[in-house]
Structure 1
Amino acid sequence: MPHQLSPSSHSPEPMTGGDAIADALLRHGVDTVFALPGAQMYGLTDAFARRADRLRTLGARHEQTSAYMAFGYARASGRPGVFSVVPGPGVLNASAALLTAHSTNTPVLALTGDVMSDFRNRERGQLHEYREQLATLRTLTKHAEHIEHPSHAPQQVATAFQRMNSGRKGAVALQASWDYFTQRACVTPAEPLSLTSTPLADPGVIEEAAAILGSSQNCMIFVGSGALDASAEVTALAEVLGAPVVSFRGGRGVVPDDHPLGFTVAAGQRLWQQTDVALIIGSRFELLDIRWNHRPEGVKLIRIDIDPAESRRLPAAINIVADAAQASQALALAVERRGVPSRRDGILADTKASAEAAIQVVQPQMDYLRVIRDVLPRDGFFVDELSQVGFTSIFGFPIYQPRHLVTSGYQGTLGFGFPTALGVKVAFPDKAVVSICGDGGFLFAGQELATAVQYGINLVTIVFNNDAYGNVLRDQQNGFGGRLIGSELVNPDFVKFAESFGVQAFRVDSPQALRPVLQRAIEADRPVLIEVSIGRGRDGNPWPFLHPSFK
């Protein structure tokens, strides 16, 4: 059962509903909110404004950006991201980002409104009315509630944070009626709730898994977002086993790509058919039956996941329901006690080298990615996008620390990259952050260059311009007789576009030209946009390395 609020030592204070929420956010350690103000939310945003010395509020030009910035902030930092938008259209505009946050197990809190309390559920057509909005929010989050009265806010905010951060993390939402935010009442503040208890790995199950792993000749480890906070433990376990660690998207950097056991999907796929045990840590493991398709004969699956429901979604020989760090540490100790057979160190090094050589065919993306990796500091952040260079980066851009690659996960949310990267930079203003976008995805939120300038978000954005939705163009050419519908794009002059917002901008047309420009951009104390001219249809095909059955 969730922990309940203990009796508060705080005295009741008269405050508005907006104040009650703002005060509760501060008590939960929130110091940044991404908010696009509107009529229903004035009482809340005013409460933020009156706490400006403790609570930084950043606006945006679209609700999707407020939500994506909160997502980027949370995904890169591991701290909750909070955003506020108006109900109805505002919630729907933010919904793609909220879905992305929840799908990637990222702690994001959405705050929104509703019609006046006297008009709820009457369908009288009040501004931004959305029938059963709460029901929609519940499909996008792991927890969503309506706050009826200011006195309820402290406990409901505390419960939302508890649910957001307990077990498998995810997005949550709170809404309240328009008049709630300015309604005054006596409110008793509340301290944060303890998180619900985390399951501990069953020692007997650990021993069973250790026995299988100890006798394995060719085991492979697969990591996802659930292992982001278990880097040291997973790396130690891999070293005990001598097993390569493969990450697709969410787990990139859990084991650094320059570690002998750090494998991309391009390298891991080469060893898959010889694998006898797959140890899956905090991952849905879509590679198994979506990407790689063919399961090696007799391979045994061992899963570590904090969510017990995962054992039903993907059956395994052994399911360890536990936190990734605790279970990985326990498993490493158990395997060490048993001993392990000699592994395939030479084969692993050769496999990594051969995969690295093979992916060089994906051009010009690989050459551009190499330049970015060379220039971006080791602790810099890289935010991808649904684009030809973004797809290639999944296997072609080395990542050295968890959370330093930010992706939209399996949602594949076109247009998420640039606004998400703004949030990453807000979380880490002193770190280098590079956003790579295609021309199509960038213009989903290109107007947010204004937000970057207004708030001094000194992000470096690289727009790879191939005058197309490149993947759609290739699919229509290869699979649908070359009948092109909606995949060819007419773009603005991106340099002039950026400069019109006061953003410094450059255009390059080769990896060699990109290098010095990117070096200056990262050192600049201002937002910078770099357009890379590719040309329509000139991108290499990354899909043989991402989905071998797709050519």
Structure 2
Amino acid sequence: MIAPREGGRILVEQLMLHGADLAFSVPGESFLSVLDAFYEHREKFKLVTCRHEAGASNMAEAYGKLTGKPGICLVTRMPGAAQAAIGVHTAFQDSTPMILFIGDVGSDFRHREAFQEVDFAAMFAPAAKWAARIDSVERIPEYIARAWNVATSGRRGPVVLALPEDMLSQSATVADARPVKAPEAHPGTGDMNRLREMLAAARRPLAIVGGSGWSRQACEDFAKFAHANKLPVGADFRYQDLFDNRDPNYVGDVGIGINPVLANRVRMADLLLVVGARLGEMTTSGYTLLSSPVPKQKLVHVYPDAAELGRVYQPELAIVSDAGPFALAASAMAPLDSSAWASETSGARADYEAWIAKKEMPGRLQMWSVVEHLDKVMPEDTIYTNGAGNFSVWLHRFHRYTGFRTQLAPTSGAMGYGVPAAIGAKIAEPKRAVVCFSGDGDFLMTGQELATAVQYDAAVIILVINNGMYGTIRMHQEKHYPGRVVGTDLVNPHFAAFARAFGAVGEIVEETAQFAPALERAIASGKPAVIELRIDPQAITPNATLDGLRAAAAKKT
């Protein structure tokens, strides 16, 4: 016989049934019943208390990326929802499974503009796969099962559920749902036969992998297919960990700051095999690498959601399939004669090696050497996270991602992502090393989550690349309005002292030789650590200086 349960307990137990074991929250009185259920199940379902809702939602998003399971986040009413929205938007643009729960006003207060009341379904409709409000305690199992299924199937993404305070405190006698097993789309035999025909006729094929829904096995299967057919493989923007960057078939990332030689190879390819990537603005260099609506390249687009196929680019062959089933089918394909393009693959690899070669920058601290040292001393499975800004180029361009789920970064371009992503990843995978790259502006958007890292013994290493400005915007200022600098200068705190105030380790590095011992001390401490890297402000990108940009722009006026 089923015993009556409070709504909060039903909700938590449904999440556990579907496989949840970690959630991130800033607590609110609107969901006290849920908090009490977490107390009841505290040995099996860990609740991480964060210092800001943006931190909590970014941790949940990073957890979704890392595990493939929905990242769970709980906040309360309009202030909490508004601040968590950035993580939801990142989950939407990055196609990451996530469920945001929002404590809401009681049902009897609705539509009176009660305290912090908002229509959350309407608010999140453009930025979530599904947004709804659970008004009946008896239907909690139904809503949670649907949310889990929606978040993890097709194009993955976020779900938002509002929880009326009175509904959560009501009791009901309801049965549990069944554990959700999300459906997967598989390629048809005809699809694979047509792909084989198109590959056989190609002379300059190029594969691009990206998006969510991958697994380690899927990555291995796709690598097997690429090796058997000597295919060059590029990685979608901030999905560089889907193909080992040390592999001779890997030819670089197709995103912001793309190698111009690789960009030309994309344009000149006679066959593009795109698996899992949406082909959005960042991947296509502002929709310029392919023509819309009909690309000049023959496009084979593999994606789990039919609505995305042909949305911008009409493919020659559209395959509705998840990455895993497609990669498995491709790996089983008999190898083709690759003699027509084998030299193209080796040439593209040589271009990549030249692109990541040592690059000097102004100043005493060389970021290429920092990245090189990390690659030498950090474990192979280290997770690297970052937020948004020019500082991330040093990581994306020069670090060699070693394989599946060693990169957590926002394709949405949201600042403030790296620090909470690193903390969430370290809590989820405590045995793995986690390194975060942050800019000085980027870091202070969520830097208070150092308190969360200390509280939960999440020994992340955070590199704060400090150039005293919002560097990306300054770069564009100098390109378009040379010398007219306003709104981008920053006066920063002493970041090492900031870290020590939280009980973390703080280090200052002002020249290259200081980095290795500072990193060694940070690792040896066993604590969260911030290493401030004070770089020359002139070093705005690996290829440009501020003075150079200003001079080039001045010549055009």
TM-score (norm 2): 0.90
Does 1:176 pair with 2:156?
no
Distance 2:277 2:314 in 1: 13
Query: Structure 1 stretch 477-486 or stretch 396-405: which is displaced more?
Result: 477-486
- Cα deviations across residues 112-156 of structure 1 (Å, max 9, x unaligned)? 122110111x22x322111x2211223221122211122211121
Counterpart mapping for 1:361-376 below 5 A: 364-376=366-378
- Residues 16, 227 of structure 1: CA spacing in aligned structure 2 closer, same or farther, 3 A cutoff? closer
- Residues 542, 160 of structure 1: CA spacing in aligned structure 2 closer, same or farther, 3 A cutoff? farther
Counterpart of 2:223, as a letter, is T
Distance 1:291 1:114 in 2: 39
Q: 1:347 maps to what in 2?
A: 347
8 Å CA contact 1:207, 1:334 repeated in 2: no
Q: Secondary structure at the match of 2:244?
A: coil
Of 235, 259, 280, 1:247 maps to: 235
Counterpart of 1:178, as a letter, is E
Distance 1:320 1:294 in 2: 21
Q: 2:245 maps to what in 1?
A: 257
8 Å CA contact 1:107, 1:169 repeated in 2: yes
Q: 2:330 maps to what in 1?
A: 331
Q: 1:207 maps to what in 2?
A: 193
Counterpart of 2:248, as a letter, is P
Q: Once the 2 structures are TM-superposed, how far is the Cα of residue 412 of structure 1 from its aligned partner?
A: 0.3
8 Å CA contact 1:206, 1:330 repeated in 2: yes
Does 1:271 pair with 2:257?
no
- Residues 442, 328 of structure 1: CA spacing in aligned structure 2 closer, same or farther, 3 A cutoff? same
- Residues 437, 516 of structure 1: CA spacing in aligned structure 2 closer, same or farther, 3 A cutoff? same
Of 292, 308, 324, 2:306 maps to: 308
Distance 2:236 2:511 in 1: 28
Distance 1:190 1:273 in 2: 49
8 Å CA contact 1:248, 1:264 repeated in 2: no
Distance 2:162 2:30 in 1: 11
Q: 1:547 maps to what in 2?
A: none
Q: 1:399 maps to what in 2?
A: 401
Q: 2:549 maps to what in 1?
A: none
Distance 1:509 1:211 in 2: 56
Q: Once the 2 structures are TM-superposed, how far is the Cα of residue 450 of structure 1 from its aligned partner?
A: 1.2
- Residues 543, 83 of structure 1: CA spacing in aligned structure 2 closer, same or farther, 3 A cutoff? farther
8 Å CA contact 2:359, 2:542 repeated in 1: no
Query: Structure 1 stretch 43-52 or stretch 93-102: which is displaced more?
Result: 43-52
8 Å CA contact 2:120, 2:131 repeated in 1: no
- Cα deviations across residues 397-419 of structure 1 (Å, max 9, x unaligned)? 1101122111101x100111111
- Cα deviations across residues 255-274 of structure 1 (Å, max 9, x unaligned)? 20000011213363353344
8 Å CA contact 1:214, 1:335 repeated in 2: no
State the identity as a percent: 27
Q: 1:512 maps to what in 2?
A: 513
Q: 2:548 maps to what in 1?
A: none
Q: Once the 2 structures are TM-superposed, how far is the Cα of residue 529 of structure 1 from its aligned partner?
A: 0.9
- Cα deviations across residues 447-488 of structure 1 (Å, max 9, x unaligned)? 111111112111111111111101111221221132222100
Q: Secondary structure at the match of 2:240?
A: coil
- Cα deviations across residues 406-435 of structure 1 (Å, max 9, x unaligned)? 1101x1001111112111111111110001
Q: Secondary structure at the match of 2:99?
A: strand
8 Å CA contact 2:450, 2:504 repeated in 1: yes
Q: Secondary structure at the match of 2:173?
A: strand
Query: Structure 1 stretch 17-26 or stretch 370-379: which is displaced more?
Result: 370-379
Q: 1:155 maps to what in 2?
A: 142
Distance 1:20 1:147 in 2: 12
Q: 2:76 maps to what in 1?
A: 86
- Residues 246, 31 of structure 1: CA spacing in aligned structure 2 closer, same or farther, 3 A cutoff? same
Of 96, 108, 115, 1:106 maps to: 96
Aligned residues: 529
Counterpart of 2:301, as a letter, is R
Distance 1:70 1:199 in 2: 26
Counterpart mapping for 1:57-96 below 5 A: 57-96=47-86
Q: Once the 2 structures are TM-superposed, how far is the Cα of residue 533 of structure 1 from its aligned partner?
A: 0.8
Q: Once the 2 structures are TM-superposed, how far is the Cα of residue 288 of structure 1 from its aligned partner?
A: 6.4
- Cα deviations across residues 369-420 of structure 1 (Å, max 9, x unaligned)? 22222222110000012132212322221101122111101x1001111112
- Residues 387, 194 of structure 1: CA spacing in aligned structure 2 closer, same or farther, 3 A cutoff? closer
Q: Once the 2 structures are TM-superposed, how far is the Cα of residue 292 of structure 1 from its aligned partner?
A: 7.7
Does 1:443 pair with 2:444?
yes
8 Å CA contact 1:73, 1:425 repeated in 2: no
Does 1:290 pair with 2:321?
no
- Residues 289, 462 of structure 1: CA spacing in aligned structure 2 closer, same or farther, 3 A cutoff? closer
- Residues 163, 298 of structure 1: CA spacing in aligned structure 2 closer, same or farther, 3 A cutoff? closer
Distance 1:543 1:91 in 2: 39
Q: Once the 2 structures are TM-superposed, how far is the Cα of residue 332 of structure 1 from its aligned partner?
A: 4.4
Report 1 or 2 for greater relative contact order, CA contacts < 8 Å, sequence distance ≥ 6: 1
Q: 1:3 maps to what in 2?
A: none
Distance 1:273 1:227 in 2: 27
Distance 1:458 1:288 in 2: 33
- Residues 33, 227 of structure 1: CA spacing in aligned structure 2 closer, same or farther, 3 A cutoff? closer
In structure 2, the gaps of 5 or more residues are: 254-258, 546-551
Q: 2:177 maps to what in 1?
A: 190
Q: 1:465 maps to what in 2?
A: 466
- Cα deviations across residues 472-531 of structure 1 (Å, max 9, x unaligned)? 112212211322221000111111111111111110112321122213323432111111
Counterpart mapping for 1:427-442 below 5 A: 427-442=428-443
Counterpart of 1:187, as a letter, is V
Q: Once the 2 structures are TM-superposed, how far is the Cα of residue 441 of structure 1 from its aligned partner?
A: 0.7
8 Å CA contact 2:54, 2:84 repeated in 1: yes
- Residues 240, 93 of structure 1: CA spacing in aligned structure 2 closer, same or farther, 3 A cutoff? same
Q: Secondary structure at the match of 1:398?
A: coil
Of 30, 44, 47, 1:40 maps to: 30
Q: 1:5 maps to what in 2?
A: none
In structure 1, the gaps of 5 or more residues are: 1-10, 545-549
8 Å CA contact 2:121, 2:131 repeated in 1: yes
Distance 2:283 2:94 in 1: 18
Counterpart of 1:331, as a letter, is A
Q: Once the 2 structures are TM-superposed, how far is the Cα of residue 164 of structure 1 from its aligned partner?
A: 1.2
Q: 2:120 maps to what in 1?
A: 133
- Residues 145, 423 of structure 1: CA spacing in aligned structure 2 closer, same or farther, 3 A cutoff? same
Q: Once the 2 structures are TM-superposed, how far is the Cα of residue 174 of structure 1 from its aligned partner?
A: 1.6
Compute the RMSD of aligned alpha carbons.
Answer: 2.3
Q: 2:256 maps to what in 1?
A: none
- Cα deviations across residues 296-322 of structure 1 (Å, max 9, x unaligned)? 994211111111112221211111111
- Residues 310, 361 of structure 1: CA spacing in aligned structure 2 closer, same or farther, 3 A cutoff? farther
Distance 1:479 1:85 in 2: 41
